[in-house]
Amino acid sequence: MNAILRTDITGPVVMSIAIAIGVGFFLLLLLRPSWRWLRTALLAILVAGLLGWLTVWLVEDVMDVFHVGLTPWVWFWSIAAFAALGLATVSFRSSSVRRKVLAAFSIPVFLVVPALGINTEFGLNNTLGSAFGISTEGQIQLEKPNPDSAIPTGPLWQNWEPPADMPTAGRVGTQVIPATASGFNARPAGIYLPPAALTENPPRLPLYVLMMGQPGLPDPQYVSAALDDFAAKNKGLAPIAIVADQIGPDQDDTLCLDTAKYGNVEKYINVDVVTWAKENLNILPDRKYWTIAGYSNGGQCAISFAVKYPQMWGNVVDISGEEFPGAEDPSGNLAEIFHGDQAAYDALKPINIMKGRQFPDTTAIFTVGSDDVTYVAAAKAVSAAARESGMAVTYYEIPNGGHVGIALNAGLTKGFDVLYPRLGLAP
């Protein structure tokens, strides 16, 4: 079963097979030796396709459901799904039992194939398991850290020589991080151990805590892929990464706050996860080596935590993050979470927290897709406030990155480009 869930659903093989099946069903329904049928079928395809175009336009431009622009391929797959379903629907009229059965079987095909295409375009769910929100990673085995291990006196890249038998890639898996202090119902966290951590006498390494988007899965595959590339160029050195769950199994926008509605998320990340990391991971203790990071919903959480707990987090990476907690529904959150208290809500917005304060030894990286209009505005506003508050700020726009996998992967890479020297992992 796990092997099935690990199936890559974004690769050319799966997509080619899916498209071939979809086109096959489409042609079987369309091609009949009747001009009258052909006119009816083409009219149904046209009308349904126009309905699909109207639906996508309403969702994107009028209702702004996703708060980001949809790519041409997302438009194509959405319209294609409507058009194909229009053909399937009209095929039930004045047709044989065999053709009705064929039309019935085509409906799930015409739903699944465009869904695979849209998922591939977003690039955030590479496996069948991740598409269904199911982790395919097993529990990772951890060695208890040695509290007496030496703290390096200089940069790790100067003091570390990897043994000949060091693995060429890191190891990923999951761990349940107990919510001892918070009681928050979190899913198992993803863990990444770099090659240097898998040696007989591993060095203490930086800590990198990442939070994904909402909806999303605490999946370590993205950060592990980026860090394996960096580790390969830097003596196997990379941060130990925790992909922590800030939204829970119901995948709520928890605002990354401690609330009666969603639970103590802030305390879970900054107390439970941190305490567990200190007790179970061979990490460097200085805040300079600790990074809080996030993508989209997680990006907002990251900058919020960085400014609330500057004594803990020396670095922050905000990838396509929202401007403030609950930015997708501020009026609803104001009413439901803050009971109409606008001042209380405003006080928890990162830009307001930074006003009048200084963070002179915090490194902050903000990345966003250049065409991700809503989030570009948020990233510019928050990064400007961070720079004014004394942080060492890097702001980077990913060319045509959108709010999809391209933005996430490029954001991770840019973050590590900036952080590696700061963390002592590269010159």
pLDDT digits (tens, 9 = 90+) for 319-341: 999 999 999 899 999 999 999 99
Position 147 scores a pLDDT of 74
**Could you say which DSSP state residue 144 is in?**
P
Closest residue by Cα to residue 177 from 293, 52, 272: 272
Model pLDDT for residues 24-61, shown as the tens digit of each residue: 999 999 998 888 899 999 999 999 999 999 999 998 87
Rounded Cα distance between 163 and 200, Å, is: 9
Position 207 scores a pLDDT of 98
Pairing of strands 258-259, 263-264: antiparallel
pLDDT > 80? residue 129 = no
Model pLDDT for residues 229-271, shown as the tens digit of each residue: 999 999 999 999 999 999 999 999 999 999 999 999 999 999 9
To the question of pTM greater than 0.85 for the whole model, the response is: yes
CA dist 10 → 3, 22, 305, 356, 414 (Å): 16, 16, 34, 47, 24
- C-alpha atoms less than 13 angstroms from C-alpha of 414 in its C-beta half-sphere: 26
Average pLDDT, integer, range 274-296: 97
Position 59 scores a pLDDT of 85
Other CB atoms within a 10 A radius of the CB of residue 274 amount to 22
**Amino acid at the residue 279:** E
For residues 204 and 10, which has the higher predicted lDDT (pLDDT)? 204
Q: Please report where in the chains the tokens 């498209």 appear, as a residue.
A: 19
Model pLDDT for residues 344-374, shown as the tens digit of each residue: 999 999 999 999 999 999 999 999 999 898 8
Rounded Cα distance between 358 and 388, Å, is: 8
**Amino acid at the residue 397:** E
pLDDT > 80? residue 131 = no
Q: Is 19 within 8 Å of 81 (Cβ atoms)? A: no
Position 68 scores a pLDDT of 66
What's the pLDDT band for 5 if we cut at 50, 70, 90?
low
Rounded Cα distance between 272 and 182, Å, is: 7
Mean pLDDT (the chain) is 93
Model pLDDT for residues 106-116, shown as the tens digit of each residue: 999 999 999 99
Model pLDDT for residues 142-168, shown as the tens digit of each residue: 988 877 777 888 899 999 999 999 999
Q: List, in sequence order, every residue forming a beta bridge with 392; answer none if it has no partner.
A: 363
Q: Which residues contact 224 (CB under 8 A, 6 or more apart)?
A: 170, 172, 192, 241
Model pLDDT for residues 184-230, shown as the tens digit of each residue: 999 999 999 999 999 999 999 999 999 999 988 999 999 999 999 99
Closest residue by Cα to residue 272 from 181, 144, 142, 185: 181
* % residues pLDDT > 90 (the chain): 78
What's the pLDDT band for 4 if we cut at 50, 70, 90?
confident
**Could you say which DSSP state residue 197 is in?**
G
Rounded Cα distance between 29 and 326, Å, is: 46
pLDDT > 80? residue 133 = no
What is the phi-psi region of residue 251: left when phi exceeds 0, alpha when psi lies from -120 to 50, beta otherwise?
Answer: left
Q: Is 421 within 8 Å of 403 (Cβ atoms)? A: no
CB burial readout 225-247, b (16+ within 10 A) else e: bbbbebbeebbbbbbbbbbbbbb
Position 33 scores a pLDDT of 84
Instruction: State both tokens at 395.
Output: 């702001």
